[in-house]
Amino acid sequence: MMEQLSGVTELFGFGGGDVALWRLTASAAGELRPVAEALAAAPATAWWWDPVELTDQRQLVWEGWHGEQHAGRGLSGVEAAMRSEMARRHAQNERDAGRRKGKRRRRGAPRPGERNLGATWWSAPDFAPGTWTTGPRGGLPALELGHFIDTFFPFGESAASVARLTLDAGARVAEIRGPRDWQRLVSRFPCEVTSSHDGEWRDWGDVDGPWYLPDWAAVAGHYDGVHVTVGGFLATCGLAQPVGDGHTMLAGWVPDATLWLRDVVTDHRPLGVWRGDPDDCGEWEEILAGWWPHTPE
């Protein structure tokens, strides 16, 4: 089952061919519903909707990662990184609002209805890689090694440090088990991201903006983390959902990943370094064989 999950989600890219395929799939929704219901009822997929396991989370940092300095050190510094990113976003929104007040469209900017190929398509914030966590599964020390998406993932042979985290038993985690959970989260804590996401999401969702994602700083006032279950990711990814006067979308998120907004780690234990080339992996057995513990010489 994990083999099929990895292959399907990793190829769930935001390309023109995929848009056409999704529209064809939508037209066959009635015929496919029994298949989806059987999949959801299968014993092998029961864990796809499980809440985050706070006693055993795995944090992964890629070799040569040049992101936030706190990456891979538990959740130290994640709150400062989150506040910094949201401050940049709000400043950008203020600049965009100023430009909309009677100023001309800048030369080269996409006109309404045009696709902006430089737009961002992923929903995860910049501070996610190196801080978010997944559980271990099916022989992998961290589910993130399964190469389910291309976001924040290196190409070619790579090494990744994996650590085991234990989180506070009282940690407040928002669970995303389906589209309505994501829609409610964004509706409650909206932050406009039209300037960065409009082109890709408008083309993909076939609706106009404005576009919204969670205001992570506002979410942090109520939750310590946001966990997107495997089932929640598969049911929600790529759907344009109404929020206020616009829409939202979940995309580019590792299935089962928890985005942490506060440092609620009670134990941090390095497990070692794994090396492999996930691009060469096809069958799930090859994914398992494609990663091996690396011992420095």
Do the domain assignments include residue 148? yes
What is Dmax (Cα atoms) for the chain? 63
Closest to 92 (Cα-Cα) out of 163, 209, 174, 193: 193
- State the pLDDT at residue 18: 57
Do the domain assignments include residue 23? yes
296 has a pLDDT exceeding 60: no
Do the domain assignments include residue 166? yes
Task: Work out the pLDDT band at 92, boundaries 50, 70, 90.
Answer: confident
pLDDT digits (tens, 9 = 90+) for 186-237: 999 999 999 888 888 888 788 888 999 999 999 999 999 999 999 999 899 8
In the chain the beta strands, taken as DSSP E runs, fall at: 57-62, 133-134, 158-167, 173-176, 190-192, 211-214, 225-228, 241-243, 246-248, 258-260, 265-276, 291-294
Residue with tokens 């809440």: 51
Q: How many domains does the chain have?
A: 1
Mean pLDDT over residues 24-32, rounded?
Answer: 78
Do the domain assignments include residue 13? yes
Do the domain assignments include residue 27? yes
Mean pLDDT over residues 84-104, rounded?
Answer: 75
Do the domain assignments include residue 107? no
- State the pLDDT at residue 112: 46
Do the domain assignments include residue 150? yes
Please state the pTM of the whole predicted model. 0.83
Which run of H or of E encompasses 230? Answer: helix 230-236
Q: Which residue has the higher pLDDT, 89 or 53?
A: 53
- State the pLDDT at residue 156: 66
- State the pLDDT at residue 152: 67
Do the domain assignments include residue 108? no
DSSP codes, 196-224: HHHHHHHHHHSS---EEEE-HHHHTTT-S
pLDDT digits (tens, 9 = 90+) for 98-141: 665 555 444 344 444 454 555 688 899 988 887 899 999 877 88
Full domain range(s) for residue 54: 2-102+114-294
